[in-house]
Amino acid sequence: MPSLLPPRCRAGAVSRCVGTGLALLLSATVACSKPASDAAPAAAPAADTAPPPPPNATVSNTPRIVFLGDSLTAGLGVAASEAYPAVVGERLKQEGRDFEIVNAGVSGDTSAGGLRRLDWSLQGNVHVLVIALGGNDGLRGLPVEELRRNLAAIIERAQRRGIHVVLAGMEAPPNFGDSYTRRFREVYADLARTYNVSFIPFFLADVAGRPALNQADGIHPTMEGQRLIADRMLKIITPLLDESATR
């Protein structure tokens, strides 16, 4: 399964959403990615790594929580049961909440890839959609407006179905320039305000930049890091589940 980073680059570290620690995690991309101007961020990336699976005709009516993301969500490098979506599901089960957890994380995926596979990801009785996409957009230097359009389309389609949306912010590496990094970060905050969705400013807050919580590549969380992400997700998701129950 491919890493979040391009094949020629496998190291780095990020910190909080304000970006001061971001250079610690992603500075390695400077050495392995050709710098680009804000006007021409990067060459077109290779196609997304995995085609969407066929629709499931036997989807149950059990209420679902869907996590739409990349390798950080898929749980690259840890067991499936240790990825944060599974941890969230287990903790909800311990609280007596009956929700089916759908880990729709695909390693190497971009926001465009997430949008392409949205329909099958949202099959069934989905109550909450967590959007954790954009890390690969930033690593590839893809245009910020494309990120904005893709994420907006995902949010709009989910909201039309009455699905609660949680938007997890990502960070771009510093080697594409300060302007690109700032505009990339602002996309998430702007969309959260525009669509009035629950918002996590930085998906890897309190995990990135801490060696004990990250695998050797410095990008993908360890089991302990995944648990911290799950803790943050539960604080956001639980009130949404309570709201759904009163509908």
Which residues are catalytic, by number? 71, 217, 220
Which residue in 224, 131, 136 sits closest to 169, CA to CA?
Answer: 131
Which residue in 240, 201, 243, 207 sits closest to 225, CA to CA?
Answer: 207
Distance of CA 163 to CAs 66, 79, 81, 86, Å? 10, 28, 25, 20
Which residue in 175, 112, 99 sits closest to 148, CA to CA?
Answer: 112
- Under 8 Å between Cβ of 98 and 62: yes
Output phi, psi for 221, to 5 deg: -65, 150
Report helix, strand or coil for 200.
Answer: strand
